[in-house]
Amino acid sequence: MTAAPVVGIPRGLSFTQLKPVWEEFFGALGVPTLVSPPTSRAILEDGLRVSVSEACLPLKACLGHVASLIDKADLILVPRCVSLHRREYICPKFAGLPDVVRASFGRLPPLLVPEINLHNARRVPRMDTVAELLGVDPERVRRALVQALRAIRRDPSGSDGPLIAPEAAQSRTVVVISHPYLIHDRFLTMGLMGRLSAMGVRPVPMDTLDAARLRAAAVAPKPLFWSWGTEALGCACALARSGEADGVLFVTSFGCGVDSFVEAMAERRIRAAGIPYALITLDEHTAQAGLITRLEAFIDTLPDRRTHDRNVSAHGQCLYTDESASR
C-alpha cells in the first residue's frame, strides 16, 4: 500500500480563516498535512524574491510560505477562494492565488486547488483533480469539503449585549480593525498586538468580535462588494454607535485595494463619533522605531479626548458631520 501524499499548507492569506476547514477536511480523508512555520525574515525574503513590488505585504509573505514547502510536501494546497458569503466576494488576490503561485515559481509540486465559491449557493462542485491527486474517491472529497465548510458558516447573532466583552481590569480598550492574516502575523506586524498590551491598553482585534453583528451594523448607501469590507465598516458603525472603544486603530498593508476605500469610510464614522483614530500602514520597509513612535503618540492621546476635547480638534473630529459620516 502506498503512503498518502503529504499536503503542504501555506500559513498565509486564507489560512487564518480556513484553518478549521482544512483540519476537518484532511482529517476526514485521513490525509497528512504540513503547515508552513510562522512568518520569519527568511520566509518573507523568499516571498519578496518572486513578488511584484505592487503586491500587498500578506501576498508577498504567502508566496514565501509556498516557497518554504516546495521541498517538503508532495502537494501544496492553494485554494481558489472566490466568495465566502452569498452575493459577496473576497479580494481577487484570493481568487487568483493559484495562478500567481504557478507564475511565480519555476519548480513546484502539484498544486491542490479546491474552489470555494459560496456566492450563489452553498453548492460545492465535484473536484476530480483534487480527488485524483489525493487518491480518494471524488464524491468522498466533495462531501468532506461540504461538511468542513460548515465551520465558516456564521449564524445570525441574537445577542444585543455589549459587543466587546467587559474585562475586570479597567485598561483602555483599543479595537484593531485589520485583516486576520495581517494582524495575527507577529512578524509582519512587528508584534503590534503585544506592543499595545505592553503599553497598557487592551487591544481587541476585529475578528474576535461577533461577525454577524458587525455585518448587520454596516450602514452605507449601497452594499459593499467585499465581505471583509462589510465587516470593517460594520465594526466602525457599531463602535461609533455604542462608544465601547477608547480608540480605534486601522492596520492595513500598503497596496491593499479593498482597504483603500473601506478605510476612508470607517475613519469618517469613527471620527464623527469623537473616538480617537489612527491608521497604521505596513509594508516590508516599515521600521520598528517608526511603528513604536506612532503607537505611543496614539496612546498618549487616549486619556483626555473624551473629557477635554471641546475645542477645534487637531485629530479632525470637527471636519466630519453626521451627514458626511453616513457616506
List of residues contacting ligand SF4 (CB under 6 A) = 13, 56, 58-59, 91, 93, 179, 253, 256-259
- Of 78, 35, 12, 8, the C-alpha closest to 253 is 12
The minimum distance between CB 231 and ligand SF4, in angstroms, equals 12
Q: Which is nearer to ligand SF4, 179 or 268 (CB)?
A: 179
Q: Which is nearer to ligand SF4, 113 or 133 (CB)?
A: 113
Q: Which is nearer to ligand SF4, 59 or 145 (CB)?
A: 59
The minimum distance between CB 58 and ligand SF4, in angstroms, equals 5
Handedness of CA 41, 42, 46, 47 (dihedral sign): negative
In whole angstroms, what is the distance from residue 40 CA to residue 83 CA? Answer: 29
CA angle 316, 284, 8 (to 5 degrees): 125
Residue 66: CB partners within 8 Å, gap ≥ 6?
10, 12, 36, 76, 78, 101, 104, 105, 108
The minimum distance between CB 243 and ligand SF4, in angstroms, equals 28
The minimum distance between CB 259 and ligand SF4, in angstroms, equals 6
Furthest CA-CA distance within the chain = 77
Q: Which is nearer to ligand SF4, 59 or 84 (CB)?
A: 59
Contact in structure between 173 and 245 (CB atoms under 8 Å): yes
Q: Which is nearer to ligand SF4, 91 or 124 (CB)?
A: 91
The minimum distance between CB 56 and ligand SF4, in angstroms, equals 3
